[in-house]
C-alpha cells in the first residue's frame, strides 16, 4: 500500500444512477469509462478495490411492485439489472488492463463467478478488482445493504459511497437552498435524524462492524483517489 493512502482496502458503492451520465435510463459508456479511470487511480495507489453496483438505472423492484408486479419477482429483476451494470464496468476496467472479476450473489456460471467470500479475498490479494453483482441475492434488500455486507465480509477499512453531491446534507441540496453540509457525522446522527445516506440496515451493519462510510461526489475528477488519500471534500461517518 502506498504510504500516504489512508485505507488498505476499500469498497466503492456506485448506484445505477451513477452509470447513466446525462441519460434518462440505462448505461452511458463514457461515464462508465470515467469510473473505470477513477478505480484505476486508486488501484495505482496500491489499495485493494472492490465494488458494488446498483441497478436503478435499469430496473428497481419497488417501481415494478408499484405497477402491480409481485415484489419478489420485481426485486429479482432489479438484481439482474445490477449484473448488467457489473459486466459493463468489468468491460471498462479490462479495457484498461485491470484484472477484474465479477462475482454474483445469484449463481450464473456461464456469465460470471458466483460469490464465494474466500475466493473474492484471494482475488483482492492478487491485485484484482472484484465487482459484486446481484446485491445480497435476496429480494426486499438494496444494493446499499449489499455494499455494507460485502465491505464487512471483505474486511474493508471503509465503504466509499459515490454520490451525486459532495457529502451528506441535512436535506437535498438540489431542492433546499440552505441545506447544511456535514464534514463528519456519527452513525447515530444518521439514524436518529434519518439522513438520506444509505438505508438503515446498511448504516447499522457498518456501525456494528466499525466500517466507516465516506460519501463523496463522483462527478469530481480524481475524487475517489483524493478520498483514499484523505483529501478533497467528503463526509465521513463513523462512531
**Residues in the annotated binding site for UMP:** 55, 75, 136-143
Copy the grid coordinates of residue 177: 437552498
Nearer to ligand UDP, 39 or 229 (CB): 39
For ligand UDP, the nearest residue by Cβ is: 54
Q: Can you tell me whether residue 9 is helix, strand or coil? A: strand
Helices (H), 45-96: 61-66, 71-95
Binding positions for ligand UDP, rule: CB under 6 A = 15-17, 54-56, 60-62, 75, 78-79, 81-82, 135-136, 138-139, 141-144, 146
**Residue 154 contacts residue 205 (beta carbons within 8 Å):** no
Q: What is the DSSP letter of 129?
A: E
CA distances from 150 to 70, 97, 191 (A): 27, 24, 21
- Considering the complex, state which of residue 10 and residue 45 has its C-beta at the smaller distance from ligand UDP: 10
Tallying the residues shown for the chain, one arrives at 239
Residue 134 or residue 211: which is nearer to ligand UDP going by CB? 134
Q: For ligand UDP, which is the closer residue by CB, 130 or 146?
A: 146
Residues 86, 35: contact at Cβ < 8 Å? no
Query: Nearest approach, Cβ of 42 to ligand UDP (angstroms)?
Result: 20
As annotated, the binding site includes 13-16, 55-56, 60, 75, 136-143, 164, 169, 172
Amino acid at each position: 500500500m502506498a504510504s500516504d493512502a489512508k485505507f488498505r482496502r476499500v469498497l466503492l458503492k456506485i448506484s445505477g444512477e451513477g452509470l447513466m451520465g446525462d441519460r434518462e435510463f440505462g448505461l452511458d459508456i463514457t461515464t462508465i469509462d470515467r469510473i473505470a479511470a477513477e478505480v484505476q487511480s486508486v488501484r495505482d495507489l496500491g489499495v485493494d478495490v472492490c465494488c458494488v453496483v446498483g441497478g436503478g438505472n435499469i430496473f428497481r423492484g419497488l417501481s415494478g411492485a408499484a405497477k402491480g408486479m409481485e415484489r419478489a419477482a420485481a426485486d429479482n429483476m432489479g438484481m439482474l439489472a445490477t449484473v448488467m451494470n457489473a459486466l459493463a464496468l468489468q468491460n471498462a476496467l479490462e479495457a484498461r488492463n485491470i484484472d477484474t472479476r465479477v462475482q454474483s450473489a445469484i449463481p450464473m456460471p456461464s456469465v460470471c463467478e458466483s460469490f464465494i467470500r474466500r475466493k473474492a479475498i484471494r482475488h483482492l490479494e492478487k491485485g484484482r478488482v472484484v465487482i459484486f453483482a446481484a446485491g445480497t441475492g435476496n429480494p426486499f434488500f438494496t444494493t446499499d445493504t449489499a455494499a455494507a455486507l460485502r465491505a464487512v465480509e471483505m474486511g474493508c477499512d471503509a465503504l466509499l459511497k459515490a454520490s451525486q453531491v459532495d457529502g451528506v446534507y441535512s436535506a437535498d441540496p438540489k431542492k433546499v437552498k440552505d441545506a447544511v453540509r456535514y464534514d463528519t457525522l456519527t452513525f447515530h446522527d444518521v439514524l436518529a435524524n434519518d439522513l438520506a445516506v444509505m438505508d438503515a440496515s446498511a448504516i447499522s451493519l457498518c456501525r456494528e462492524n466499525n466500517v466507516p462510510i465516506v460519501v463523496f461526489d463522483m462527478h469530481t475528477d480524481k475524487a475517489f483517489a483524493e478520498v483514499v488519500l484523505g483529501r478533497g471534500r467528503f463526509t465521513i461517518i463513523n462512531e
